[in-house]
Amino acid sequence: MHDRWKHLRKNLFRSVEPRVELVLTSQPVGRFKKLCTTETAPGYTARASHESKGTTKDDIRLNKFLIKRGHHTPLEAVCFTFRVYGITKSLQNQWVRHRIGVGWTYRSTRNISADQNEFVYCTYDYIDDRLRTMALLREDEESAKEAIARFERKRELGATKQDSRKIMPVFWNTPCYFYCNASSLRYLFSLRLEKDAEWEIRRMSRIMWEIVIKETPSLFEDFTNLARRED
């Protein structure tokens, strides 16, 4: 993604950008520390089926073989927890449609007053004209300011936090922790790195992929072309 208008978003009202951090991954413990690593755990544990033995390098090769053959259960040995910041409510709505091997803890605007909300503005990458992009961003900025003002008015009139937040535009920032295993993350990538996925969930998936490809390359390297494609 080019994101050529990023600089125009910088000073907009409560503008935030996406940020994904890896909080933790699965680690071998006890005697298994000598036998496998986070990355080799799928191949290593899959050896139970043939009672075979191999080196760390063999286990990495086995990871790739398991992926190719669709034997994905051993990939569940590796779990990730991410902190995700700078994503909209509309992204959240798409993301939580994934049901298997995934979970979230979201910042709740029932508990935290929505007048604290920040906003994730559109990239408008498909617009060539700078002035038109600025005009679009100004429209969004006005909605964000208006929403905060209306929220405060509703509160003054006696509405609860949860009822007052209902006038928020869907581009408010909804930070979360995301829990998933490597098999489910691969499934997410297979759908959400694709060109026809919505741009924001695709952008987040790309950032996430750039993290896990460094941590456990053999589990995600077959998505390289999809993740790095510029279009």
Ligand X SMILES: Cc1cc2nc3c(=O)[nH]c(=O)nc-3n(C[C@H](O)[C@H](O)[C@H](O)COP(=O)(O)OP(=O)(O)OC[C@H]3O[C@@H](n4cnc5c(N)ncnc54)[C@H](O)[C@@H]3O)c2cc1C
Q: Please give the angle made by the CA atoms of 166, 100 and 222, to the nearest 5 degrees.
A: 110
98 counts as binding ligand X under rule CB under 6 A: yes
Q: How far apart are CA 5 and CA 194, in angstroms?
A: 22
Select from 10-18, 50-58, 93-101, 138-146 the region that touches ligand X (CB under 6 A): 93-101
> Total residues at the site for ligand X (CB under 6 A)?
8
Q: How far apart are CA 228 and CA 98, in angstroms?
A: 23
195 counts as binding ligand X under rule CB under 6 A: no
* Distance of closest approach, residue 76 Cβ to ligand X, in angstroms: 13
Question: Which amino acid, 93?
Answer: N
Q: How far apart are CA 142 and CA 5, in angstroms?
A: 18
* Distance of closest approach, residue 193 Cβ to ligand X, in angstroms: 10
50 counts as binding ligand X under rule CB under 6 A: no
Name which position in 12, 197, 211, 213 contacts ligand X (CB under 6 A): 197
H or E stretch at 172: none
99 counts as binding ligand X under rule CB under 6 A: yes
Q: How far apart are CA 220 and CA 63, in angstroms?
A: 10
Q: How far apart are CA 10 and CA 16, in angstroms?
A: 8
231 counts as binding ligand X under rule CB under 6 A: no
By CB under 6 A, the residues from 133 to 162 that bind ligand X are none
Name which position in 79, 159, 191, 213 contacts ligand X (CB under 6 A): 191
- Radius of gyration, alpha carbons of the chain: 21
Select from 38-46, 59-67, 98-106, 127-135 the region that touches ligand X (CB under 6 A): 98-106
Q: How far apart are CA 184 and CA 94, in angstroms?
A: 15
Selection from 72, 69, 75 nearest residue 216 by Cα: 75
Select from 54-62, 84-92, 189-197, 205-213 the region that touches ligand X (CB under 6 A): 189-197
Select from 59-67, 76-84, 96-104, 204-212 the region that touches ligand X (CB under 6 A): 96-104
* Interacting residues with ligand X (CB under 6 A): 97-100, 187, 191, 196-197
